Amino acid sequence: MTGLTRREFLGGCALAGLGASVLAGGCTAAPAAPPPADEWYVRRALFYKRLPKLRVRCELCPRKCEVGDMERGYCGVRENRGGDYYTLVHGRACTTQVDPIEKKPLFHYLPGTAIYSFATAGCNLECKNCQNWQISQSRPEQVRQIRLPPAEMVTQARSQGLSLIAGTYSDPVVYYEYLEDVAREGRKRGVRTIAITAGYVNPEPMQRICRELGAIKIDLKSMREDFYRKNCTGRLKPVLDAIVAAKQTGIWLEIVYLVIPTMNDSEAEIADLARWVKANLGPDVPLHFSRFHPTYRLTNLPPTPVETLTRCRDLAVAQGLHYVYVGNVPGHPGESTYCPKCKRVLIERQVFTIVQNNVRSGKCKFCGNTIPGVWA
């Protein structure tokens, strides 16, 4: 056996009929050649560092994947090509649809508004209870592909009379560059963009994207490291840091906590959650307790009992939070917004429908109390 000379290798490559971009990446340490024309979805990633031996370290999320040449990160949508890191999903949506904003849920941000919603494949977590695992746990090649550059998406939203776009369903963290370009394009044309995320992102990229967005909803999945490790393959602390980082930018923020029976529903944990929210975000940040339904790899548990959700809400209110909701339970009184001062119903909701809205210019129409949120 012998080592290969460069000439031999190049000869072998030529005989194999290889593409130029792969040759450049495989043979030399020079930056990879531009992607082929049919890879229109490839863009250089924003957050990574080059390492020796053509490796890179992704700096986007706390996972900090160190990725070898021609390999992908944990998210499955970022690839090392010759020592540089690329997103494979820029302008490459896998689904789009129009949703009410209450479905996200965002309750204090333009209630009753319809949103043009989109996602790409991939996620940087793997929650065993993921509702959208068919896209979040897939690689781009495994799902439907819709060529939808940012400008085209904004045009589509506007043509449907929509002034909001949401990056959602999987996790916009993994299609960060795409979301940012959508948000920037939208701002130029009077369309606001929001993000629905698990918040598993480093503080610097979190604050950068928040400056482009109108609102953000973050899933805080537990107050226990053990839960994040076992159920999500992630860590709690970076999520808490990211939430605080988002709040510091002044963006409108709401928190969702999915209550899973026996896993994150103890009174102690709910009390910890409410205390943390109040201490770090303030009493006015809405907190939604959502009902779990068995799915994906967590099918051995029942749906969350309604009384558990009610109890969670009562606990959080008792801790001093002003806007606490119950989600995925149609008809529950916790779907509606109440004035913390006069206790009257401010926004009555039935599932995703606004039955009445008594917020006037950001104030309770009954007592004049200021209601935090973005109302127009």
Partner 1 sequence: MRSGASEFGSASGAGGESRPRGRRRFLALVAGGAAAAVTGGIVGSRLIRGGAPEPSAVSPSAAGAERLALPGSVVRVTHPRALDDSGRADAAVALDMVDAAMARLTGKTERAAAWSSLFSPDDVVAIKVNCLAAPALSTHPQIVEAIIAGLRAARVPDDNIIIYDRLTRELERAGFKPNPGRGVRCFGSDESGYDEEPSEAGTVGSCLSRIVSGLCTAIINVPLVKDHDVAGVSIALKNHFGSINNPNKQHENQCCPQVADVNLFEPIRSKQRLIIADALTVTYDGGPAFKPKTSARYKSILAATDPVALDAVGHDIIEGLRQHAGLPTLAAEGRDPKYIGVAADGDHKLGIADLARIHRMDVDASRGDRA
Report the site for partner 1 in 265-294 (rule: CB under 8 A): 290-293
Instruction: Give the amino acid at 81.
Output: R
Minimum CB distance to partner 1 smaller for 220 or for 359: 220
What's the sign of the alpha-carbon dihedral 146, 148, 154, 156? negative
Q: Which stretch binds partner 1 (CB under 8 A): 96-104, 205-213, 265-273, 354-362?
A: 96-104
CA dist., res. 67 & res. 220, Å (int): 27
The verdict on 256 binding partner 1 (CB under 8 A) reads yes
- Closest CB 139 distance from partner 1, rounded Å: 7
Amino acid residing at 113: T
DSSP 3-state of 350: strand
For 299, phi then psi, to 5°, come to: -115, 5
- Asked if 184 touches partner 1 (CB under 8 A), the answer is no
Verify binding: residue 53, partner 1, rule CB under 8 A: yes
| Helix or strand (DSSP H, E) at 95 | strand 95-100
Task: Tell me the per-residue interface mask from 138 to 157 with partner 1, x by CB under 8 A, - otherwise.
Answer: xx-xx-xxxxx---xx--x-
Using CB under 8 A as the binding rule, whether residue 133 contacts partner 1 is answered as: yes
**Closer CB to partner 1, 111 or 327, in the complex:** 327
Instruction: Check residue 26 for interaction with partner 1 (CB under 8 A).
Output: yes
Question: Residues in the chain, how many?
Answer: 376
> Which residue, 303 or 362, is less far from partner 1 as judged by CB?
303
Q: Does 6 bind partner 1 (CB under 8 A)?
A: yes
Euclidean distance between CA atoms 137 and 127, whole angstroms:
9
**How many other β-carbons are positioned within 10 Å of the β-carbon of residue 244?**
14
We find the least distance from the C-beta atom of residue 26 to partner 1, in angstroms, to be 4
Stretch that binds partner 1, among 15-23, 106-114, 336-344, 359-367 (CB under 8 A): 15-23
What are the E-state strand segments in 199-271? 215-219, 252-259
The answer to the question of residue 101 lying near partner 1 (CB under 8 A) is no
| Stretch of 130-138, 181-189, 246-254, 354-362 lying at the interface with partner 1 (CB under 8 A) | 130-138
Which DSSP string do the residues of 298-325 spell out, in sequence order? Answer: B-SSPPPPHHHHHHHHHHHHHTT-S-EE
Residues 126, 272, 284, 348: which binds partner 1 (CB under 8 A)?
Answer: 126
Report the chain's terminal Cα–Cα distance, integer Å. 72
- Per-residue mark of binding to partner 1, 205-244 (x: CB under 8 A): --------------x-x-----------x-----------
330 makes contact with partner 1 (CB under 8 A): no
Q: Check residue 264 for interaction with partner 1 (CB under 8 A).
A: no
Structure-token match 């400008």, residue found:
151
- Residue from 89, 101, 110, 119 binding partner 1 (CB under 8 A): 119
3 state SS of 292: coil
CB of 306 to partner 1, least distance (A): 15
Q: Residue from 88, 110, 135, 223 that binds partner 1 (CB under 8 A)?
A: 135
* Cβ distance to partner 1 smaller for residue 9 or 375: 9
Under rule CB under 8 A, residue 74 binds partner 1: yes
Distance CA 167, CA 173 (A): 9
Q: CA dist 84 to 26, 122, 285, 373, Å?
A: 12, 20, 39, 41
Residue 270 corresponds to which tokens in the numbers above?
């709910």
Q: Is 353 in the site for partner 1 (CB under 8 A)?
A: no
Using the rule CB under 8 A, give the single segment among 178-186, 256-264, 279-287, 367-375 that binds partner 1.
Answer: 256-264
Contacts of 89 (CB under 8 A, 6+ apart): 41, 77, 120, 121, 122, 140, 174, 175, 178
